[in-house]
Structure 1
Amino acid sequence: MNKLILALTCAAALSASSSAFAGGDSARGAELTKKYNCASCHGADYKSPIDPSYPKLAGQHADYLAHALTAYQRGDKIMNGRNNAIMAGMAQPLSDRDKADIAAYLQSLPGPLVVKK
């Protein structure tokens, strides 16, 4: 019985910590986007990329952005991976927390993306 209570307590603690972590720290994300120089390709406002084939990141959904960074880490050799040499190199050193923080920051920016209802 004690092991069951301990296991349930640990599971609840992990669940609470992962949900708090999932939100991401947008201030830290702003610093990370500077560190990795994301604006050099995606534009200073993250909605005016230097090439029309590059995505507009400002205002994009955080879960999508974090997933995209994970996909670049995986590469095209694994299902649901993405193949881009520049982004693969940029995404490789990112931790899950880094990705969540970057995604939170980019989502917080005003952007041209519109959700239709």
Structure 2
Amino acid sequence: MGVPLYQAKAEFFRTLGHPARIRILELLAERDHAVHELLERIAIEPSNLSQQLSVLRRTSLVVSQRRAGEVVYSISVPEVRDLLLSARKILVGLAETRSAFEDELMITPE
């Protein structure tokens, strides 16, 4: 018997639940990156980057290949780009709602 979809979704979101993994996916959504390029763009120790890339590889969200003597990573599931964009839209909407609510509280007469 397989894993219920809601459990698989929870595991998927746990995989995304680390800021470094989100940043890696954001960068890879722009284009493929070699490890040294990721290190230049993410404030992280090389061993920690390796660990986070390993998690993303194990879950098949990213793939790696050797090009010109270096390891280059890319997103293996294009829909991850859509998910990251959707998350951004959700967060912007929540921030706007919160701001409007706070503004309303400030102008309400006592």
Same fold (TM over 0.5): no
- Which structure shows the higher strand fraction? 2
User: Which protein, 1 or 2, shows the higher relative CO under an 8 Å CA cutoff with sep ≥ 6?
Assistant: 1
Q: Considering only CA atoms, is the larger Rg found in Structure 1 or Structure 2?
A: 2
TM-score (norm 2): 0.30
- Which structure shows the higher helix fraction? 2
